[in-house]
């Protein structure tokens, strides 16, 4: 959860709710409604087209609603992290990165969703007056943090203030680090008026403690508390935001410079995902440079909206910043893939200086994210390499199943030839392997045929992943290899994400080995291959191989059993064209459906 480091304007009337509302009334509001039913919940409490004055929620002071006037106000007031230097005061601009504009939507939970989650918020409930806090009586605001902040640190000047706290510089008082500058996020306990607000602070600190040991992650020192405040102490990054540098370059990077940024972002996000942590608010403002040096290291910050996610779990809170939010977040069913979408938006901005999805209102942005396709026809895209365009397109695939993972993106042809690049271990392969081991012999044969069509570039990622599992002298892996690799690359966050429990369920690998050829069949993603060009040609080539080695006569009832279809499914109506009438073997259509795996949606379409 960020803290704003922009100071309040001395001219309060300029930004008063009345002035802002008057200004916004002149702006067309034709796109304030979201017709898509999946996002209708975002407007549960905002059916009017006029913009209402800014109000703090009395029950959720950590999150501010995002009325349309925030898109157009000249005041810069994004959610900020304590890791920032005071000099960094820009915020995300509008579509083109020519000069600093205010953020289109601060990082937040969408208010309507939080209201339903709490179950008691009314849309027109009175706001808490500025400077006063009520509620929260009876809540346990003791976090168990150290109470010796004042003994270790000398608190310096305030460098920013947000809706729920403020940021200060500080320095160590004693010891080996005496005099070293740090950043401190100070969160008043009086602001914590709900159990959700308290839990958000507790979870942020827990994640910062657990995620350790990565060079592109802001260093966390410790968390403290006293009767009045919580203090989160972190590394002070003095090089400014990634956004600052984008603006300084007039809106775009060269391909080589964009690659350097992408490698650092993908590396740290892949690390987080391996630990079972999803950031949920990736944007240029949340990446800071350690110094002003042109080649200084980039650090990911602001884990206030982050959460632990199990490998087989889907989250449903609608959180983040509007321009960077993934479609599946708006559909309220998402995992770590949502972070990769946000990275795709950042990559698009770095390469061309404009946003892939843009509108004048938040609901318009959401509709664009859900329905529109980014443009690759405008300048400078025609002059960029085909690999760069393909990279961005694969990150911005609206289907999260077809989107690259962060580790896969590091093995993309546009990225992988960079110096000293190491592809990190990817939790995604274990999900695919688990599905493979649960598959029938017929589907395994189909996947083996498909794996033989993989290109050199596609095999590069799988070879890297297999090598990270450290196969034995016979070039094979077992469950012990997987456990050892996770232990080698894991942090305490893995326990909270229940990743060891997920891996422990790999019973099929307990007493057998898997060589590289079978690993390729087990760890490939059919959905990702479907998203590539010439899928039809690849699938037919795989089918020809399957005809030679794996296809066999099968009756509809056996196929239904293979797919796990229940007695309620009208088998002949659904599966009749999956089997050839001439010899009773799988048809090409049946082969492709078998590769994808049966789902209620596919079966519904077939009917």
What are phi and psi for residue 585, nearest 5 degrees? Answer: -95, 165
Picking from 450, 439, 449, 448, the residue whose alpha carbon sits closest to that of residue 597 is 439
For residue 98, say whether it is annotated as part of any ligand binding site: no
DSSP 8-state class, residue 26: T
State the Cα–Cα distance between residues 193 and 4, nearest whole angstrom. Answer: 20
* Strand-pair partners of 181: 171
Full DSSP string of 132-183: -----TT-------BS-HHHHEEEEEEEEE-SS-EEEEEEE-SSTTTT-EEE
Beta strands in 312-367 (DSSP E): 319-320
Tokens 């309220």 locate to 332
Of the listed 31, 200, 244, 281, which one is catalytic? 281
State the Cα–Cα distance between residues 405 and 269, nearest whole angstrom. Answer: 10
Strands of 220-225's sheet in order across: 153-161, 166-172, 181-188, 229-235, 220-225
State the Cα–Cα distance between residues 351 and 381, nearest whole angstrom. Answer: 8
- How many other β-carbons are positioned within 10 Å of the β-carbon of residue 517? 12
Picking from 118, 9, 124, the residue whose alpha carbon sits closest to that of residue 62 is 118
Q: Is residue 312 annotated as part of the catalytic site, yes or no?
A: no
State the Cα–Cα distance between residues 570 and 403, nearest whole angstrom. Answer: 33
What are phi and psi for residue 379, nearest 5 degrees? Answer: -60, 135
Question: Residues forming the annotated binding site for ATP?
Answer: 185
Which active-site residues does the annotation give? 281
Question: Residues forming the annotated binding site?
Answer: 185
């Amino acid at each position: 959860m960020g803290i704003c480091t922009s100071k309040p304007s001395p001219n309060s009337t300029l930004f008063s709710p009345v002035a802002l509302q008057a200004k916004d009334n002149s702006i067309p509001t034709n796109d304030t409604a979201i017709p898509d039913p999946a996002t209708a919940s975002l407007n549960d409490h905002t059916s009017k087209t006029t913009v209402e004055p800014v109000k703090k929620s009395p029950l959720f002071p950590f999150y501010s609603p995002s009325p349309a006037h925030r898109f157009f106000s000249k005041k810069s007031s994004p959610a900020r992290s304590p890791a920032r230097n005071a000099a960094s005061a820009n915020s995300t601009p509008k579509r083109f990165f020519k000069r600093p504009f205010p953020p289109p939507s601060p990082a937040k939970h969408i208010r309507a969703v939080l209201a339903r989650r709490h179950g008691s918020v009314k849309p027109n409930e009175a706001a808490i007056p500025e400077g006063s806090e009520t509620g929260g009586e009876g809540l346990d605001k003791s976090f168990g943090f150290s109470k010796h902040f004042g003994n270790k640190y000398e608190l310096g000047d305030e460098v920013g203030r947000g809706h729920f706290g403020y940021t200060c510089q500080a320095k160590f008082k004693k010891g080996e680090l005496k005099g070293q500058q740090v950043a401190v996020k100070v969160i008043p306990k009086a602001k914590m008026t709900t159990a959700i607000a308290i839990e958000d602070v507790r979870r942020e600190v827990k994640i910062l403690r657990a995620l350790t040991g990565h060079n592109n992650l802001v260093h966390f020192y410790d968390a403290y508390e006293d009767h009045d405040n919580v203090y989160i102490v972190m590394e002070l990054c003095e090089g400014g935001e990634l956004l600052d540098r984008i603006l300084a370059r007039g809106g775009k990077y060269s391909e080589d410079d964009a690659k350097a940024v992408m490698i650092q972002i993908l590396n740290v996000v892949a690390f987080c995902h391996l630990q079972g942590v999803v950031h949920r608010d990736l944007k240029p403002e949340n990446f800071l440079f350690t110094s002003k040096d042109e080649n200084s290291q980039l650090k990911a910050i602001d884990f206030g909206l982050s959460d632990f996610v199990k490998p087989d779990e889907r989250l449903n809170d609608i959180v983040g910043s509007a321009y960077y939010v993934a479609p599946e977040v708006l559909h309220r069913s998402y995992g770590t893939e949502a972070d990769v979408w946000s990275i795709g938006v950042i990559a698009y901005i770095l390469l061309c200086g404009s946003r892939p999805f843009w509108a004048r209102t938040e609901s318009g942005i959401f509709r664009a994210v859900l329905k529109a396709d980014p443009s690759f026809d405008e300048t400078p895209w025609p002059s960029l390499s085909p690999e760069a365009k393909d990279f961005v397109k694969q990150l911005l695939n609206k289907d999260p199943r077809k989107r690259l993972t962060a580790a896969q993106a590091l093995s993309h042809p546009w990225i992988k030839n960079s110096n000293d690049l190491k592809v990190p271990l990817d939790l995604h392969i274990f999900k695919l392997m688990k599905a493979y081991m649960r598959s029938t012999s017929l589907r395994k044969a189909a996947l083996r045929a498909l794996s033989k069509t993989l290109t050199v570039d596609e095999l590069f990622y799988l070879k890297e992943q297999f090598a990270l599992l450290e196969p034995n002298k016979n070039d094979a892996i077992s469950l012990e290899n997987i456990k050892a690799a996770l232990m080698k690359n894991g942090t305490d966050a893995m326990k909270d994400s229940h990743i060891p429990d997920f891996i422990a369920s790999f019973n099929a690998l307990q007493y057998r080995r898997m060589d590289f050829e079978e690993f390729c069949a087990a760890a490939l993603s059919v959905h990702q291959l479907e998203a590539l060009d010439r899928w039809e040609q690849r699938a037919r080539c795989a089918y020809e191989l399957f005809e030679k080695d794996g296809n066999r006569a099968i009756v509809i009832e056996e196929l239904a059993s293979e797919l796990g279809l229940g007695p309620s499914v009208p088998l002949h109506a659904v599966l009749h064209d999956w089997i050839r009438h001439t010899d009773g073997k799988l048809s090409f259509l049946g082969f492709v459906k078998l590769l994808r795996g049966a789902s209620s949606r596919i079966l519904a379409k077939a009917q």
